[in-house]
Amino acid sequence: MDNNHKSTMKSISKLISQSSQSFFSAFLDDSKDKQSKNKEREEILKKLQVASAQKSLVVLQLKEVPTSQKFETVSGWIVSKKIGDSIMLRLQEDSQQIRMITVEHIKKVSTLTKNDKRLIK
């Protein structure tokens, strides 16, 4: 019985040790994911700010669209000079229509400057 008790205690301590290690690992991975997402967001904001300053045509690939498609593509010109959590886009198909798009929904940004230098990132 004494060996059985020691065996049980070893199993419990091993389980606790593995649980805490996996919890700590998940915590660190979560921090890396947040850093990665923040870096991605900053890059998108920078591209949008440059496109706005250059008055470039912007093509945006949006994610998390409620329709059955996996993504949506819109194109147009950024109306506002300052880029925040969302942008105002004057659509290329209908220049009278303006669409507000949150930066969180932008998956990819491509621009076409007035000098026809195509920048895809």
Instruction: Give the chain's domains with CATH numbers.
Output: 19-112 (2.30.30.520)
| Sequence-distant (≥ 6) Cβ neighbours of residue 58 within 8 angstroms | 48, 51, 75, 76, 77, 78, 89, 109, 110, 111
Q: How many CB atoms lie within 10 A of CB 64?
A: 10
Does pLDDT of 120 surpass 50? no
Does pLDDT of 3 surpass 70? no
3-state secondary structure at position 116: coil
Question: What is the average per-residue pLDDT within 53-73?
Answer: 78
Higher pLDDT, 39 or 34: 39
Rounded to two decimals, what is the model's pTM? 0.56
Q: How many CB atoms lie within 10 A of CB 80?
A: 13
Say which range, 8-12, 28-32, 35-39, 57-61, has the weakest mean pLDDT. Answer: 28-32
Does pLDDT of 60 surpass 70? yes
- For 119, which DSSP code? E
